[in-house]
Amino acid sequence: MSAAGVLLTGFLLLGQTADPAAPASGDAALAVAAQEAAAEASMAQGESVDIAGAARALARERGTNADQGGIWIEALWNQVIDPYLPFTVPEWLLVAVTLLLVCALVFGFINVYALFAVWLERKVSAHIQCRLGPMEVGPHGLLQSIADGIKLTAKEDIIPRLADRPLFILAPILVFTGVLMRFVPLPFGQNLTASDLDLGLFFVAAVGSVEVIGVIMAGWASNNKWSLFGTIRTATQMVSYEIPIGIAFVAVIVSAGSMSLQEIVAAQRGWFFHWYVLENPFLTVLSIVYLIASLAECKRAPFDLPEAESELVCGFHTEYSGMRFGLFFLSEYAAMYLVSAVAVVLFFGGWWTGLPFLDDLGMSPTSSPIASLLGFLLKASVFVSKAVFLVFVQVWVRWTLPRVRLDQMMHLCWKVLLPVSLVCLVGSTLWHLACGGSGLYGLPALLGF
């Protein structure tokens, strides 16, 4: 099953790159297929597969954006490796190998990140509650997550007798696929993307719904009333909170004039006040709306009603155990990173440090390969650090705020966030028309900079 998934993925990507005339749409299809395949493969082996890695290969193959960022990889291949190989590497093999490599990289990234995030969550919660948290395995419990992961894989995988077996098995795969697919257009740094779709943001918004379907499937297939309650809560919550998120997306799309995540970040270049969070007051409000709604979107406290331990046991994954539960767990942490990374792309300047002299490192065509490599690494690490910081904020919020009630949750979405975001969308658009994108609420332009 996993082999088939890998084959399918490679196949799809090949079809994509083999036809230079094909627009990004083909890319998307391929990427989607690739991700599905990847998720399948991961499930079969009780582990997840990352799609983001594929992005890198694709970006390289297609020689995306004009910026100098990722060129050194291509140069490395073209000038150092390829000429000295004793045989000609067929293009499809090259693409397939890079693709697999990229998949492996992204998969590895998600796994390592998840291990770290679980440890972070436990440590932060412990310190907030004046405890120490895990201390036994490794220094300050750093290796605790690895021990837990091994434990999880070794656990018995139980399928209840009255469960709907095929759906029960399919559900975690679908949830994980829904999360992983959204990693396709996600940048990890400049020109470091699985596939820079021109509809990237739209893709992220659209594919999120696959996760909801997976959750409904899990809850229904479990044949358990707590699961079903959790499912209905999840579906209600996720469908509702998609709307403010979508409106925040639209406002940023209007400002950036593009749906490609790479281009949205590129549009925020310069001083940190060119980041969209400081672009105009409406976008500032929208960034807060997005952060709140994204908490609900990944079912994190204070919006963790779907799995409220004190009410519903565990919500939709009550009946899951072993690696199937692990897949839900992994998708939750992957989704946390995902919404944080999207927030970084949309509002917090992506990979830009906010200081132009640092950002310009290795960006000019004349800069040395070392400088360009350094700049590339700097941007990638800046991006990931920002995203991980937002993950930390999510953890912080979780252990600080109590859970909201169901009616409060719906009230917040439909009567607070939705009107606020609509007003902000209109306001931000008008502001953009009137003042352009000078940043910092237009003050620099006002003062004549």
Partner 1 sequence: MSFSDSIFWVFATTAVVPAFLILFTRSIVRMAFLLLGSLAGFAGLYLQLNAAFLGFTQVMVYIGGILILFLFGVMLTQRSDIPVREKVGPALAVPGFFAGLLLMAALLFIALQNPWKTHPPVPVTEPDTPVIGIKLLSTYILPFEAVSILLLAAMVGATYIARVQAPGAPDGQAELSDSNAEGRLE
Interacting residues toward partner 1 by CB under 8 A: 8, 11-12, 14-16, 18-19, 21-26, 28-30, 32-33, 164, 167, 170, 197-199, 202-203, 205-210, 212-213, 216-217, 220, 228, 232, 235, 239, 242, 259, 407, 410-411
Rounded least distance, CB 102 to partner 1, Å: 18
Q: Which of 151/405 has CB closer to partner 1?
A: 405
- Shortest CB 209 distance to partner 1, Å: 3
Least distance (Å) between residue 406 CB and partner 1: 8
Question: What gap in Å lies between CA 97 and CA 273, rounded to an integer?
Answer: 41
**Smallest distance from partner 1 to CB 337, Å:** 21
Residue with Cβ nearer partner 1 (97 or 358): 97
Query: 232 vs 374, which CB is nearer to partner 1?
Result: 232
Task: Give the contacts of 205 (CB within 8 A, at least 6 positions apart).
Answer: 242, 245, 246, 249
Q: 231 or 340: whose CB is closer to partner 1?
A: 231
Minimum distance from CB of 25 to partner 1 (Å)? 3
Respond yes or no on whether the N-terminal peptide bond of residue 302 is cis (omega within 30° of 0): yes
User: Minimum Å distance from CB 96 to partner 1?
Assistant: 11
Cβ 14 to partner 1 shortest distance, Å: 5
Phi, psi of 136 (to 5 degrees): -80, -50
Q: Is 211 helix (H, G, I), strand (E, B) or coil?
A: helix
How far is 372 from 365, CA to CA, in rounded Å? 9
- For partner 1, give the closer residue by CB, 16 or 224: 16
Count of beta carbons in the 10 Å neighbourhood of residue 151: 10
Q: Are 98 and 57 in contact (CB under 8 A)?
A: yes
Q: Which is nearer to partner 1, 102 or 170 (CB)?
A: 170
Residue 192, SS3?
Answer: strand
User: Least distance to partner 1 from the beta carbon of 217, Å?
Assistant: 6
Look-up of token digits 């940043």: 439
Report the Cα–Cα distance between both ends of the chain, in Å, rounded: 60
Both structure tokens of 369: 């390969």
Closest CB to partner 1 among 22 and 142? 22
The residue count of the chain comes to 449
**In 3-state terms, the chain is what percent helix, strand and coil (to 5)?**
70, 0, 25
Please identify, using beta-carbon distances, which residue of 199 and 288 lies nearer to partner 1.
Answer: 199
Cα(167)–Cα(169) distance, rounded to whole angstroms?
5
Instruction: Classify burial at 108, counting beta carbons within 10 Å of its beta carbon; exposed 0-12, middle 13-18, buried 19 or more.
Output: middle
CB atoms within 10 A of CB 250: 19
> Closest Cα partner for 435 from 422, 424, 444?
444
Task: Report, in Å, the least distance between residue 22 CB and partner 1.
Answer: 7
Q: Of 118 and 194, which has the nearer Cβ to partner 1?
A: 194
Closer to partner 1 by CB, 110 or 197: give it: 197
The span from the CA of 82 to the CA of 401, in Å, is 56
Q: How far is the CB of 216 from partner 1 (least distance, A)?
A: 5
The Cα–Cα gap between 317 and 209 comes to 18
Alpha helices in 129-187 (DSSP H): 144-154, 165-181
